[in-house]
A and B are shown apart, each in its own frame.
Chain A
Amino acid sequence: DTEVTQTPKHLVMGMTNKKSLKCEQHMGHRAMYWYKQKAKKPPELMFVYSYEKLSINESVPSRFSPECPNSSLLNLHLHALQPEDSALYLCASSQEATSGNTGELFFGEGSRLTVL
């Protein structure tokens, strides 16, 4: 299984809602990532988890809250989002996040989020 699975594929939420994005991989990868991608822009790194510990937080607002319950799962909890947070949220994984093993990221299909 060489897939990274993200759910839901599409999400529409109001600014007062609380929702979660989920990501799952069964490749034994120990690093997992959240990226945000706006239209016609490259992916921007949000968070990196390495061995289930948060190792990078790219100054992301606290209305985005990541969680890594185990080595196969990565969640992104959303609360009180703004319309400008509407984007494609991509999850990715790699073997590790250190020592040159980051490079080959396996991306999920993404969750397209619309905040009304």
Chain B
Amino acid sequence: EDKVVQSPLSLVVHEGDTVTLNCSYEVTNFRSLLWYKQEKKAPTFLFMLTSSGIEKKSGRLSSILDKKELFSILNITATQTGDSAIYLCAVEAVGGNTDKLIFGTGTRLQVFP
């Protein structure tokens, strides 16, 4: 059975700290791995990773994929209170004519001033 596991489940830090969020997966017919940020309602897209070892960066956020060890990390440097959210990892699996996303349980990040 396909699964995506995130750790830690919850993280509490102070502003300015650096955090690393983990995502491991076991998926048949892997195509890509995605990170989303979910605040109050809709998840918003952060990164899509398809190749191992290539870091994607957006401001203070960066992510990398290891397809051999089947995991990805999301780094956030110099955290701010606005980074407080649930971070969802999802893996795109090829299935028949239609691909689908399998979401992990999420990591709840709380950043305090």
**A21 close to B (CB within 8 Å):** no
Given A43-B43, A109-B42, A110-B41, is A103 in contact with B98 using a C-beta cutoff of 8 Å? no
Fill in one digit per residue for A82-116: 1 if any B CB lies within 8 Å of its CB, else 0.
00000010100000011111111111111000000
Q: How far is the CA of A99 from the CA of B41 in the complex (A)?
A: 28
Known: A103-B34, A109-B41, A109-B42. A98 touches B101 (CB 8 A): no
Q: Identify the stretch in B52-60, B77-85, B102-110 within 8 Å (CB) of chain A at 4 or more residues.
A: B102-110
Question: CB of B44 within 8 A of chain A?
Answer: yes
Contact B42 A104 (CB under 8 A): no
Contact call A56/B44, Cβ cutoff below 8 A: no
Distance from A63 Cβ to chain B, minimum over Cβ atoms (Å): 22
Count residues of chain A with CB under 8 A from any CB of chain B.
28
Taken together as a complex, chains A and B put the C-alpha atoms of A107 and B108 apart, in Å, by 19
Task: Give the contacting residue for B98; candidates A4, A56, A90, A105; CB below 8 A.
Answer: A56
If A100-B32, A103-B32 touch, whether A45 touches B44 (CB-CB below 8 Å) is no
Main secondary structure on chain B at its contact with chain A? strand
Residues in B neighbouring A56, C-beta threshold 8 A: 95, 98, 100
Which residues of chain A are near B34, meaning CB under 8 Å? 103-104
| A48 proximal to B (CB < 8 A) | yes
Q: Does B111 contact A (CB under 8 A)?
A: no
CB distance from A1 to the nearest CB of B (A): 15
A109 to B40, CA, bound (A): 9
8 closest A-B pairs by CB: A42-B103, A107-B42, A102-B99, A55-B98, A109-B41, A97-B98, A103-B48, A110-B41
**Chain B residues at the A interface, C-beta cutoff of 8 Å:** 31-32, 34, 41-45, 48, 50, 88, 90, 92, 95, 97-101, 103-106, 108
Q: Which residues on A are within 8 Å of B, measured CB to CB?
A: 4, 31, 40-45, 48, 50, 55-56, 88, 90, 97-110
Known pairs A102-B99, A104-B45; list 6 more (Cβ under 8 Å): A42-B90, A43-B88, A45-B101, A50-B98, A102-B31, A103-B92
